[in-house]
Amino acid sequence: MSVPVFLSDALGGSELVLDGPEGRHAAAVRRLRAGERVDLTDGAGAVAECVVREALKDSLRLDVVGRYDVPAPRPRIVAVQGLPKGDRGELAVEMMTEAGVDVIVPWAASRSITQWKGDRAAKALARWRSTAREAGKQARRFHLPEVTEPASTAQVEKLLRDAALALVLHEDAAEPLSRLEVPADGDVVMVVGPEGGVAEEEVARFRAAGAVPVLLGPTVLRTSTAGVAAASVLMARTGRW
């Protein structure tokens, strides 16, 4: 059984206290007890290997038995996710986080049925970030993915221009993703369309920004699974897997 991971900003010293929501979850939900191993991370690469000294009602007292830093993985995988309907956005975020995607950019594509506006936008973004946080801990990721503010099409164009490799997943593309040369460093930015796909006007704009339309395979995947499928190919191509 893998060692559970919890988030903490306080990793200094030989003794630590895990309290707040993380400590409550560890003590009351996971029911961790004295002598059990846990890892704490700040989500930015720092790790404290710990043993539970004492389990209280809603916190843990921990002894630190080791420390190390995990370098940020390269190249960085950035997924621009067209806003899906319902809870498929959280599903996409969860699976891409588990696969190792480093940055997730919500994108209000022209064919997105769902539109984030006002309070709804703030709540939806909070759900995506919470999903990434919990999935990252479950997957024992010590660099948690960043879920950015929602991006416009113009902002996505800038991401593509600045990328070491820019990709648009498209069912009519001729170039298979699996055959592309992938850089060893920099940002690999891939655009995943919503349920209706990426509109032709958007494809044209993204191509002008330097993006290459790529094909995943002979079947058409749903927006909630296309991102994790593409990320899997990229992870294997870069050697991160």
* Pairing between β-strand 76-82 and β-strand 187-192 as defined by DSSP bridges: parallel
Handedness of CA 88, 197, 230, 69 (dihedral sign): negative
Number of other CB atoms surrounding residue 114 within 10 Å? 18
What is the reported pLDDT for 68?
97
Q: How far, rounded to the nearest angstrom, does the alpha carbon of residue 86 sit from its chain's CA centroid? A: 19
What is the reported pLDDT for 232?
97
Low pLDDT (below 70) residues in the chain: none
Q: What is the DSSP string of 190-205?
A: EEE--TT---HHHHHH
CB proximity list for 192: less than 8 A, separation 6 or greater: 79, 80, 81, 82, 92, 169, 223, 226, 227, 230
Number of other CB atoms surrounding residue 8 within 10 Å? 20
What is the reported pLDDT for 165?
98
Question: What secondary structure, in 3-state letters, does 209-233 show?
Answer: CCCEEEECCCCCCCHHHHHHHHHHH
Question: Is 62:24 a contact under the CB 8 Å cutoff?
Answer: no
- Amino acid making up residue 72: A
Residue with tokens 């990229």: 234
What is the reported pLDDT for 157?
98
- Amino acid making up residue 37: R
What is the reported pLDDT for 1?
73
179-204 confidence digits (pLDDT tens): 999 999 999 999 999 988 999 999 99
Question: Is 96:233 a contact under the CB 8 Å cutoff?
Answer: no
Using alpha carbons, list the distances in angstroms from residue 133 to 46, 78, 87, 139, 157: 16, 16, 16, 10, 27
Tokens of 69: 């830093």
Residue 156's SS3 state is helix
Tokens of 117: 């506006």
What is the reported pLDDT for 184?
94
